């Protein structure tokens, strides 16, 4: 475990495992880089250098007073890449809101050093329902989430993680302990960061960023994702990104990193192994 300092002075926690082709794993809301641990081990066992970090405001990173927007998030990713001295053959994998960092890094930083990208249960290209994005999530849903977090932050996430993990749905079940870990991890995050980041992934339109994906891209999404519906995100991302391939996990919910860990690990290792 180590830390680096971003251009605005925020300390970001990161960790590495293995040697070889670097693959940077970006976590989802409201968790931490630790959610990638099983995937990191699999990538390391398959000749890759797996790197995960905690987004500002989450996990072990600083609870910064500002910077919860995708321009800053992508700058933080760029600062990590610079800190590690990476300049070529980088793989990026982003889960949920982590897909947004990849999209904005590809446009804002020209995808510097990146040769392959994976969007897993990602919010890209646009979550919000609008006239030109009718499959999106209604604004009322995001407002209800915000009010729920403000009213009782801890109780909100007890309910949120049921949909997140697909409790009672047709997909692969997870243990109560897994959901408890997620709740505990969410409680370590800054409440301000959690609210601001929710607004960022709800209202940021990544459609203009899609044209900047100039590398092989793998899109993975569960068909029973109630948190980030596949119709508005995964399928549209795959259709809008040149040289993209979509893998749909039938009946799986949002948290595929936990429900089908082995399959996700294998798919990512195969993809990054083949696209160096």
Which residues participate in catalysis according to the annotation? 96, 225, 254
Domain that holds residue 118: 2-274
Statement: the pTM of the whole predicted model exceeds 0.75: yes
pLDDT in tens, 118-129: 999 999 999 999
Q: What is the pLDDT of residue 234?
A: 98
**3-state DSSP of the chain:** CEEEECCCCCEEEEEEECCCEEEEEECCCCCCHHHHHHHHHHHHHCCEEEEEECCCCCCCCCCCCCCCCHHHHHHHHHHHHHHCCCCCCEEEEEECCHHHHHHHHHHHCCCCCEEEEEEECCCCCCCECECCECCCECHHHHHHHHHHHHHCHHHHHHHHHHHHCCCCCCCCCCCHHHHHHHHHHHHCCCHHHHHHHHHHHHHCCCHHHHHHCCCCEEEEEECCCCCCCCCCCHHHHHHHCCCEEEEEECCCCCCHHHHCHHHHHHHHHHHHHHCC
The pLDDT of residue 146 is 98
Low-confidence spans in the chain with pLDDT less than 70: none
CATH number at residue 54: 3.40.50.1820
Q: How many CB atoms lie within 10 A of CB 195?
A: 18
- How many domains in the chain? 1
Query: pLDDT tens, 172-191?
Result: 999 999 999 999 999 999 99
Residue 276's pLDDT is 77
- Taking alpha carbons only, the member of 115, 119, 83 closest to residue 101 is 119
Q: pLDDT of 202-219, one tens digit each? A: 999 999 999 999 999 999
pLDDT at 160: 98
What is the pairing mode between strands 48-53 and 11-17? antiparallel
């Amino acid at each position: 475990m180590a830390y680096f300092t971003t251009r605005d002075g925020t300390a970001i926690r990161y960790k590495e495992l293995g040697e070889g082709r670097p693959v940077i794993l970006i976590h989802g809301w409201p968790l931490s880089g630790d959610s990638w641990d099983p995937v990191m081990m699999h990538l390391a066992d398959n000749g890759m250098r797996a790197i995960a970090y905690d987004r500002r405001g989450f996990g072990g990173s600083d609870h910064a007073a500002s910077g919860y927007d995708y321009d800053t998030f992508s700058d933080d990713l760029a600062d990590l890449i610079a800190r590690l001295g990476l300049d070529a053959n980088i793989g990026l994998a982003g889960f949920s809101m982590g897909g947004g960092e990849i999209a904005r890094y590809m446009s804002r930083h020209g995808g510097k050093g990146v040769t392959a990208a994976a969007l897993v249960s990602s919010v890209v290209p646009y979550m919000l329902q609008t006239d030109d994005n009718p499959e999106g999530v209604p604004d009322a849903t995001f407002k209800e989430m915000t009010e729920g977090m403000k009213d009782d932050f801890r109780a909100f996430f007890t309910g949120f993680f049921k949909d997140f993990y697909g409790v009672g749905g047709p997909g692969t079940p997870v243990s109560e302990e897994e959901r408890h870990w997620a709740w505990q991890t969410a409680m370590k995050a800054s409440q301000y960061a959690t609210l601001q980041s929710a607004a960022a992934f709800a209202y940021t339109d990544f459609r203009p960023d899609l044209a900047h994906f100039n590398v092989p891209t793998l899109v993975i999404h569960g068909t029973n994702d109630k948190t980030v519906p596949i119709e508005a995100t995964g399928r549209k991302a795959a259709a809008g990104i040149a040289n993209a391939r979509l893998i749909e996990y039938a009946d799986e919910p949002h948290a595929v990193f936990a429900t089908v860990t082995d399959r996700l690990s294998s798919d990512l290792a195969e993809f990054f192994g083949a696209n160096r």
